[in-house]
């Protein structure tokens, strides 16, 4: 049985991961409307990853005899203004998610819940990758996004991203 606080935080995180998927779908729609189908593709895949994160946490709770409580998913409320700002919002959101994962890890550490800490190790590493990817996208867009040929190349790079399910064994 998991510590009550750890279980509650994981349940909350499931909702936040599904929200992240909604947010990234909203970003994808924005980029599709701008004619940047590569960036739209990148965020569609990002949404799939966030959904998978929620599913992994759900499975972890269930495997540990905990009740999963699905909550309403908030509608994304960010006003999407331009192609750089959307990427900056993505980076800001990834940093926020990292802080949430760290808070769960801290609660697991305080409860001496080593199994949950081990489970969360993958998410800690994943968040480092997510922040780097988001930061790289912002930097590239700021460097090259105003030049049509360079933007075309960036868009093509984003279009090449394919989905790959996480390989986390519970």
CA dihedral (131, 137, 141, 143) positive or negative: positive
Q: Which residue has the tokens 């802080």?
A: 99
Q: Which pLDDT score is estimated for 66? A: 97
The answer to whether 25 and 141 are in contact (CB under 8 A) is no
Q: Which residue in 107, 85, 97, 159 sits closest to 129, CA to CA?
A: 97
Q: What percent of the chain has pLDDT over 90?
A: 94
Q: Which residue in 77, 51, 60 sits closest to 165, CA to CA?
A: 51
Cβ contacts of 105 within 8 Å, gap of 6 or more: 117, 120, 124
Query: pTM for this structure?
Result: 0.93
Q: pLDDT at residue 169 above 90?
A: no
Q: pLDDT at residue 1 above 90?
A: no
């Amino acid at each position: 049985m998991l510590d009550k606080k750890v279980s509650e935080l994981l349940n909350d995180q499931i909702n936040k991961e599904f929200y992240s998927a909604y947010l990234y779908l909203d970003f994808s729609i924005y980029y599709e409307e701008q004619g940047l189908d590569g960036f739209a593709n990148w965020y569609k895949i990002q949404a799939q990853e966030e959904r998978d994160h929620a599913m992994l946490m759900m499975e972890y709770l269930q495997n540990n005899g905990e009740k999963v409580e699905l909550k309403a998913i908030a509608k994304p409320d960010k006003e999407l203004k331009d192609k750089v700002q959307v990427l900056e919002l993505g980076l800001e959101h990834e940093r926020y998610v990292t802080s949430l994962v760290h808070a769960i890890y801290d609660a697991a550490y305080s409860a001496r819940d080593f199994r949950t800490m081990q489970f969360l190790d993958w998410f800690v590493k994943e968040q480092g990758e997510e922040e780097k990817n988001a930061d790289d996208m912002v930097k590239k867009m700021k460097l090259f996004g105003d030049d049509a040929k360079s933007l075309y190349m960036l868009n093509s790079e984003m279009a090449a991203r394919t989905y790959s399910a996480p390989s986390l064994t519970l």
